[in-house]
């Protein structure tokens, strides 16, 4: 089947966002069958055990805040302040993202606090007017499943 | 066993801003200063290792020779992020160790665009802010945050690093800044990326540094053993796999790997080291490297800064040059400038900031892009 795609169909802002179903976006990583490590990039071999048994894997939507910084000064045009978060995803994988809804006071942010992914329109479009779909983190009450 | 390699000449420009000068011009000046220190000319040099990042595709080494003499020697242009200078020095060392060359020149030179590092040309869409931050201040803020997570270091302890290194720089005529920054001033400066304020970020400057290396035989023949410094250990590491390091660069594992290799090659341990110039690109980074270089035990870096152990006169002075925080951080020049600093102390020529009786010193740099890391460690001994 060859269908001409609408040039304004939403696009993934980064390559590891899978939009095969627009109503069910997720992060697609690659899991190593040898050691279990999950990578966001597509690699020829596992960086950890060098094995070649890498298969696509859907990452979970929940995780815990491993690390963060509050960014007050960034590149020209970037709105600050915001929280840059490193999240250990439940079920494997590590994802960097902006943490919204938790304020920008370091005292209000705790290592290991539960967070979850929220997908949505990034507010940015490509030259054809296609919106970029991105994700961010919000505080959550812990794993739901 | 291959013969030892000696640094027979070293120098650096006072770091600063040189809007009217070119990269080769700055590198040429540093090269001539180091050659003069060794009493040599460019005609005595067998090979040239030149580190530069911003003009990495523009044959900076060859253009430096256009300024000081086109002798036709092999030139290797080196780029390895902020580990570039150390990488160029190590390439020179290996060329002599291999027996291929007797005397080599190593230069690190950089002329930086102003502003925040780590951006580069952003394709559409703009990812910064959308998916957290990959700016260098953010990356190294997280280095400190991870240490705080594991060992409970405080904002104040990180800030004390900056107070110390700014104080040290008041004694270094080659530092960009030579001003005292009291603790309140550091902590109240503009917050850049928690917990690093503006005064806890390295200074974005231009600069160049150079070293002339020679084999033992040539060092003796030239009668330079009196001023020579022996390279006891030289190690370079790339980031081995570690949890999260593809999302958050890990400077700890890579530094530990390089340090272990350098200590092993030198046959020395951290207790043998009299002074350290380490990669304080941000105040948060210095504390973690106390442990990564085994200058203290796990979890002791906060105590080490609180008790003044890393200050001039302390147990193991760190960054008496003023460090990247105050001397300045012209990326590729940094890894040779820190060697110049240690050489100066080992020769007893560091003036007011001299570490008394220094016999052995250690230099350390790390390099990073938004992913991938390098670490270079050198251990130097008065010959
Ligand atoms: Zn594996």
pLDDT digits (tens, 9 = 90+) for A14-26: 999 999 998 999 9
| pLDDT attached to residue A144 | 46
B43-57 in b/e burial notation, b at 16+ Cβ within 10 A? ebbbbbbbbbbbbee
Q: What are the phi and psi torsion angles at B246 (to 5°)?
A: -85, -10
Across the interface, whether the CB atoms of A75 and B119 are under 8 A apart is answered yes
Q: Where are the domains of chain A?
A: 11-139
Q: Cα distance from A145 to chain B (closest Cα, Å)?
A: 24
Q: Which residue has the higher pLDDT, A32 or A8?
A: A32
Using CA of residue B33, residue B34, residue B40, residue B42, what is the dihedral sign?
negative
- What is the 3-class SS of A19-84, one letter each residue? CCCCCCCEEEEEEECCCCCEECCCCCCCCCCCCCCEEEEECCCEEEEEEEEEECCCCCCCCCCEEE
Going along chain B from its start, the domains and CATH numbers come out as 5-115+203-382 (3.40.47.10)
| pLDDT attached to residue B151 | 96
Q: Do B372 and B247 meet the contact criterion of CB atoms below 8 Å apart?
A: no
As a whole number, mean pLDDT of residues A73-100 equals 96
Among B128, B130, B248, the residue with its CB nearest the CB of A122 is B130
Among A14, A40, A74, the residue with its CB nearest the CB of B133 is A74
Q: Which residues of B form the catalytic set?
A: 82, 329
| Residues of B whose CB is below 8 A from A34 | none
Among B129, B195, B248, the residue with its CB nearest the CB of A86 is B248
pLDDT digits (tens, 9 = 90+) for B153-198: 999 999 999 999 999 999 999 999 999 999 999 999 999 999 999 9
Across the interface, whether the CB atoms of A70 and B243 are under 8 A apart is answered no
Across the interface, whether the CB atoms of B131 and A70 are under 8 A apart is answered no
Strand extents, DSSP E, chain B: 5-12, 47-51, 75-78, 103-110, 191-193, 196-197, 207-215, 229-238, 275-277, 360-368, 373-382
| pLDDT attached to residue A106 | 94
Single pTM value for the model: 0.96
As a whole number, mean pLDDT of residues A31-35 equals 97
Burial (CB < 10 A; 0-12, 13-18, 19+), residue B19, is exposed
Across the interface, whether the CB atoms of B131 and A88 are under 8 A apart is answered no
| Residues of A whose CB is below 8 A from B146 | 67
Q: Is the pLDDT of residue A143 over 60?
A: no
Measured between alpha carbons, how far is B372 from B124 in angstroms, rounded to an integer? 23
Cβ of B127 under 8 Å from any chain A Cβ? yes
ipTM above 0.90, yes or no: yes
Measured between alpha carbons, how far is B378 from B2 in angstroms, rounded to an integer? 17
Q: Which residue has the higher pLDDT, A133 or A1?
A: A133
Across the interface, whether the CB atoms of B132 and A85 are under 8 A apart is answered yes
Question: 3-state DSSP helix/strand/coil percent for chain B, to nearest 5?
Answer: 40, 20, 40
pLDDT digits (tens, 9 = 90+) for B260-281: 999 999 999 999 999 999 999 9
Cβ of A80 under 8 Å from any chain B Cβ? yes
Q: Name residues of chain B where pLDDT drops below 70.
A: 1-2, 115-123
pLDDT digits (tens, 9 = 90+) for A43-52: 999 999 999 9
- What are the residues whose beta carbon lies below 5 Å from ligand 1 (ion)? A 32, 34-35, 37, 46, 48-49, 51
Measured between alpha carbons, how far is B370 from B376 in angstroms, rounded to an integer? 18
**What length is written for chain B?**
383
């Amino acid at each position: 089947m060859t269908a001409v795609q609408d040039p304004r169909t939403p696009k993934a802002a980064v390559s590891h966002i899978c939009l095969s179903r627009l109503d069910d976006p997720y992060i697609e990583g690659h899991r190593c069958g040898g050691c279990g490590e999950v990578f966001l990039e597509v690699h020829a071999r596992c960086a950890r055990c060098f094995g070649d048994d890498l298969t696509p894997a859907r990452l979970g939507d929940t995780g815990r805040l491993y690390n963060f910084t509050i960014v007050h000064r960034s590149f020209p045009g970037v709105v600050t302040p915001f929280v840059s978060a490193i999240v250990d995803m439940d079920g494997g994988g590590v994802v960097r993202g902006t943490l919204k809804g938790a304020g920008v006071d370091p005292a209000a942010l705790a290592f290991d606090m539960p967070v979850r992914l929220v997908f949505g329109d990034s507010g940015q479009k490509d030259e054809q007017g296609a919106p970029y779909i991105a994700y961010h983190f919000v505080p959550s009450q812990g794993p739901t499943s | 066993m291959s013969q030892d390699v000696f640094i027979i000449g070293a120098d650096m420009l006072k770091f600063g801003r040189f809007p009217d000068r070119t990269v080769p011009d700055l590198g040429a000046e540093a090269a001539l200063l180091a050659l003069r220190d060794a009493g040599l000319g460019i005609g005595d040099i067998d090979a040239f290792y030149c580190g530069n990042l911003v003009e990495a595709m523009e044959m900076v080494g060859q253009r430096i020779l256009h300024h000081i003499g086109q002798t036709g020697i092999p030139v290797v242009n080196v780029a390895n992020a902020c580990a570039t200078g150390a990488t160029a020095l190590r390439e020179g060392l290996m060329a002599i160790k291999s027996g291929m060359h007797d005397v080599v020149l190593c230069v690190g030179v950089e002329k930086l665009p102003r502003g925040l590092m780590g951006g580069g040309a952003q394709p559409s869409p703009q990812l910064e802010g959308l998916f957290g931050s990959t700016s260098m201040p953010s990356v190294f803020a997280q280095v400190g945050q991870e240490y705080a997570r594991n060992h409970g270091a405080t904002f104040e302890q990180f800030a004390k690093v900056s107070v110390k290194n700014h104080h040290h720089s008041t004694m270094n005529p080659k530092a960009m800044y030579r001003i005292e920054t009291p603790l309140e001033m550091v902590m109240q400066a503009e917050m850049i990326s928690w917990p690093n304020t503006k005064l806890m970020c390295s200074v974005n400057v231009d600069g160049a540094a150079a070293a002339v290396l020679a084999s033992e035989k040539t060092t003796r023949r030239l009668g330079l053993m009196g001023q020579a410094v022996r390279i006891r250990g030289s190690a370079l590491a790339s980031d081995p796999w570690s949890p999260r390091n593809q999302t958050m660069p890990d400077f700890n594992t890579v530094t530990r790997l390089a340090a272990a290799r350098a200590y092993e090659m030198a046959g020395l341990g951290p207790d043998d080291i009299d002074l350290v110039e380490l990669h304080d690109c941000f105040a948060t980074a210095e504390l973690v490297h106390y442990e990564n270089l085994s200058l203290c035990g796990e979890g002791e870096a906060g105590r080490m800064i609180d008790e003044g152990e890393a200050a001039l006169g302390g147990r193991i002075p760190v960054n008496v040059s003023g460090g990247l925080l105050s001397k300045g951080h012209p990326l590729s020049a940094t890894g040779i400038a820190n060697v110049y600093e240690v050489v100066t102390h080992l020769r007893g020529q560091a003036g007011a900031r001299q570490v008394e009786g220094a016999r052995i010193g250690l230099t350390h740099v790390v390099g990073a892009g938004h992913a991938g890391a390098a670490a270079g460690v050198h251990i130097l001994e008065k010959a």
